[in-house]
């Protein structure tokens, strides 16, 4: 489902969107049983281009990390999740871009006010 921000809502259990294989909704799941986080068109494109996979367990950890950032008052955060780096608009619960360790070498992350290492 595409929202007004041109983001993609990830499907519920067993769904596959943009190369993300999802196996279970998180605790923060939306009313339709999908994940509460959304992915921008740009993030979706990068995930597809880089062949990245985020499974259900990682989505739960990602949402937990975004919740931690939100609790500290963050607006835009770099979330480090295993070998992935995701820039997230915390206020909009929107993943703006995503990259793996190889893609993130020599990159500078700007316009973020926090970094969260996903638990």
CB atoms within 10 A of CB 84: 21
pTM check: above 0.75: no
Strand segments (E) across 1-119: 7-9, 16-17, 20-21, 38-40, 76-81, 84-89, 94-100, 114-117
- Tell how strand 38-40 and strand 76-81 pair up: unpaired
Judge whether residue 63 has pLDDT over 60.
yes
> Could you read off the pLDDT of 1-19 as tens digits, one per residue?
233 333 333 433 333 444 4
**Using an 8 Å Cβ cutoff, are 16 and 22 in contact?**
yes
> Could you read off the pLDDT of 65-110 as tens digits, one per residue?
999 999 999 999 999 999 999 999 999 999 999 988 877 666 788 8
Laid out side by side, the sheet with 7-9 consists of: 7-9, 38-40, 94-100, 84-89, 76-81, 114-117
Domain layout of the chain by residue ranges: 7-117
């Amino acid at each position: 489902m595409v929202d007004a921000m041109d983001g993609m809502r990830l499907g519920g259990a067993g769904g596959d969107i943009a190369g993300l294989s999802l196996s279970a909704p998180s605790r923060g799941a939306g009313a339709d049983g999908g994940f509460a986080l959304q992915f921008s068109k740009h993030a979706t494109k990068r995930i597809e281009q880089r062949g990245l996979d985020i499974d259900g367990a990682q989505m739960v950890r990602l949402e937990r990390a975004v919740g931690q950032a939100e609790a500290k008052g963050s607006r835009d955060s770099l979330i480090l999740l295993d070998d992935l780096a995701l820039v997230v608009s915390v206020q909009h619960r929107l993943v703006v871009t995503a990259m793996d360790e190889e893609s993130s070498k020599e990159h500078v992350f700007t316009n973020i006010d926090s970094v969260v290492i996903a638990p």
